[in-house]
Amino acid sequence: MILFADSGSTKTNWIVYNPETKNKTEISTLGINPIVHHHDDIIRILNDNIELTDLGASVKTIRFFGAGCSSELRNNIARNAMQSIFSDAEIFIDEDMIAAGIAVCKNKEGIACILGTGSNSIYFDGEKWHNSNAGIGFILGDEASGAYFGKQILRDFLYGLMPTDIIYHLQDKYQLKKDDIFYNVYKNVSPNRYLASFAPILTTYRQTDYVQNLMNEGFDVFFKYHIACFDNYKNFPVGFVGSIATHFQQEIEIVAKKYEVELGNFIQRPIDELVQFYTQGK
């Protein structure tokens, strides 16, 4: 069995591929990010899904692409945790940007962007991958991500700088209290996931001036730091993966025109393209 995984900070999409029958089985778990998850956290996330752990020794290869997997030190955290469950597997770990690049660019020159819980970008010149300098995490960066917008929403809620109907909605739906916000942001596990949980406000109040201004500012900053950082970025298509990107393509198109950017594919999740790429060579 070959196990493919595309992991953001919120969710991991897994596909179990049987090379003999060509059958594919989908599994999902919580996101695995070695920046915010330790060895025991990752094992707990894996063990929470019996369907996944029951595969055990039958998995011979794992190709895991994940948020936060951009250094050998962090990759070893994820690898060692997975190896404790999939003891006979050869484990390949790479960053989620490579998965996005494969899904969006295939074998053609272009820029691939992630807009999900976190955000990042990568450029493919037709032969090699080139990272931007923007993958600096949800505290310092992650512009226009779910965590970024969630942080802006909570900030404006605490400062009282949003329309009163949105304030009442947050109080009613999330039972928000200042102490709870502080605990979840500063002390709890996966604060980026907590922040991103407020991104649905963007959909609920999408047509309001408040949300439109919030998204316009966020996407503008994203284009500035994640796309315009590449030389000649206007000369090839820019594609996106992730829930924020696919849900708010219309708002992204408005900002893209300002930067004179040609938009490419918008893909909800790259896992299917990954399986095709590694099993069919396309």
Question: Hey, what CATH topology would domain 2-98+271-280 get?
Answer: Nucleotidyltransferase; domain 5 (3.30.420)
Mean pLDDT over all residues of the chain? 90
Residue 57 banded pLDDT, cuts 50, 70, 90? confident
Please report, for the chain, the start and end positions of each structural domain, with discontinuous segments joined by +: 2-98+271-280
Q: Is the pLDDT of residue 281 over 70?
A: no
Q: Is the pLDDT of residue 97 over 90?
A: no
CA distances from 181 to 30, 54, 188, 199, 276 (A): 21, 37, 10, 15, 42
pLDDT tens for 136-162 read 666 777 899 999 999 999 999 999 999
Q: Give CA–CA dist 128/82, Å, rounded.
A: 28
Q: Is the pLDDT of residue 43 over 90?
A: yes
Q: Are 140 and 152 in contact (CB under 8 A)?
A: no
pTM for this model (two decimals): 0.80
